[in-house]
Amino acid sequence: MSKRNVPPYQSGRELEANWVTGWSLQPLQAGDWVLRVSGDIVLKPANGWLQAVAADEVAALSASAVSLGQFQDRPLFVVNQTDGALAGLEPLLLRDVILHIDDAPVALVSIAVQLAHWWRDQRFCGRCGAATVIHARVRACWCQTCEIPWYPRVAPCVIVVIRRGERMLLARSSRTRRPMYSLIAGFVEPGESLEQAVAREVKEETGLQVSNIRYRLSQPWPFPHQLMAGFFADYESGELVLQQDELADAGWFVPDHTPPIPPLTTISGQLIHDMAEEILLDIAGRANR
């Protein structure tokens, strides 16, 4: 492989720092950078995350190629390798890339997989069934028959850390075998505000009432296309009554004695960290009075 086919970088963070996000109608050409995926699997080259597409690959990959912008002044695409892993590529589960690889280009990989799914699933109009084409001006598929755009799907979700005095509520999902505790979360229903969704999800899954619901931060979550909006809330009333098909366990924990929790690369890990800091600062403030 020539030097032209190997990006001169090793760091995922360096890659993202030099990635120019964008959208282009320009078709895939030999020499363009590609991030290779296969469904929810990222196919990682040994030397980094990108490869330059070879001339003899262009025809096979063009149908699945979706523009991601530019890297080092050359077009960057995600391509869906339907034939699975290729020689020299390491297959990595998307969840492992996000949760367990410290130097992964998380934002790039997340966007790439979501757009690859969208392009795979939106090749035909959901109203009339006609084949769609790329919209001329925005990131969308266009039905020439119905004259309507089909944008990438984004499903809004809420996630919340609840404070009760010097403790916070952590919960373990009933759908995982991992002994990891996280937060109450769920999809926003039609007609709801984000704050209403927080209150409803908490009530449904734990039986608790909360107040003082306040926005903290957000994170795209590509499983497959959520946008997580993170909140703080205060306990108001009620006793824990768990929704068994959602939660296997839940409890109130002090900041310095928590069970295993998600890493800081996740919104749940960041919310737990931020709430723990807030509680500890309040404790320190009272001690200094």
User: 61, 34 in Cβ contact below 8 A?
Assistant: yes
Which CATH number covers residue 217?
A: 3.90.79.10
Residue 140 lies in a domain: no
Both 78 and 169 in one domain: the answer is no
Is the torsion defined by CA of 11, 16, 20, 24 positive or negative? positive
Query: pLDDT digits over 79-118, tens only?
Result: 998 765 567 889 999 999 988 888 889 899 999 999 999 9
Estimate to the nearest angstrom the gap between the alpha carbon of 61 and the chain centroid: 25
Reduced to 3 states (helix: H, G, I; strand: E, B; else coil), residue 283 is helix
Q: For residue range 179-207, what is the model confidence (pLDDT) as tens digits?
A: 899 999 999 999 999 999 999 999 999 99
Same domain, 279 and 172: yes
- pTM for the complete prediction? 0.86
Where b means 16+ CB within 10 Å and e means fewer, 242-255 reads beeebbbebeebeb
Mean pLDDT of 116-122: 93
Output the CA torsion sign for 249, 252, 254, 255. Answer: positive
Tens-digit pLDDT profile for residues 1-51? 444 455 555 578 788 888 999 888 899 999 999 999 998 999 998 888 999
Task: Tell me, yes or no, whether 269 lies in a domain.
Answer: yes
**At 67, which CATH number?**
3.90.79
Structurally, the chain folds into a number of domains equal to 2
Residues 271, 175 share a domain: yes
- Half-sphere exposure of residue 4, counting CA atoms within 13 Å on the CB side? 7
What residue numbers bound the domain in which 65 lies? 3-121
Residue 41 φ/ψ, nearest 5 degrees:
-110, 130
47 and 117 part of one domain? yes
Helix (H) or strand (E) holding 236: strand 226-237
Among 72, 97, 121, which residue terminates a domain?
A: 121
